[in-house]
Amino acid sequence: MTDFSVAILSNQLDWTGVDKSAMERGFGLADANGAINGIFNDAALTGSHTVLKDCSTVIFAGQVGRTVSLVHSGQTLNNEALFQSYTLTRGADGSLAFSAPWNLADGTVPAWS
C-alpha cells in the first residue's frame, strides 16, 4: 500500500419550526468511505492482489463486507466495507498500481479506539 484515504461524515439535516425565523440544523445518518492505493503484489495470502482480487464479487455467508482496519500511533479504526472496484493501472514507468475504493457496509459508524 502506498496511500489510503478515509472519510467519516454525517448528512446535515435542515429544518425549522414555526417559532423560528432562521434555519435549524443537525446531524443525520453517518457514513464512511475511502480508498486503498498501492503497487501490485500477488504474494500468497497477504499480498494486495490476493486480498482484493475478488473483493467486489465474493461475500461469504453471514459476511456484510470486508473488515478494514487502520492502525496508527496506537489508535485503531475498524469498519466493515464494501469495495466498489479493484482497478489496476499500468504506469508509463512500467509499474502496476492498484486502487480499491470502498464504502461503509453494515450501518455501524466507525469509531477510533
3-state secondary structure labels for all residues of 69-81: EEEECCEEEEEEE
Does the pLDDT of residue 63 top 70, yes or no? no
What SS3 class is residue 50?
A: helix
12 belongs to a structural domain = yes
Name the domain count of the chain: 1
26 belongs to a structural domain = yes
Distance between CA atoms of residues 99 and 40, nearest Å = 10
pLDDT higher for 63 or 30? 30
50 belongs to a structural domain = yes
Does the pLDDT of residue 60 top 70, yes or no? no
113 belongs to a structural domain = no
Distance between CA atoms of residues 86 and 69, nearest Å = 18
* pLDDT band at 106; cut points 50, 70, 90: confident
Distance between CA atoms of residues 53 and 56, nearest Å = 8
60 belongs to a structural domain = yes
Domain that holds residue 68: 3-104
The three cell numbers of residue 97 are: 498500481
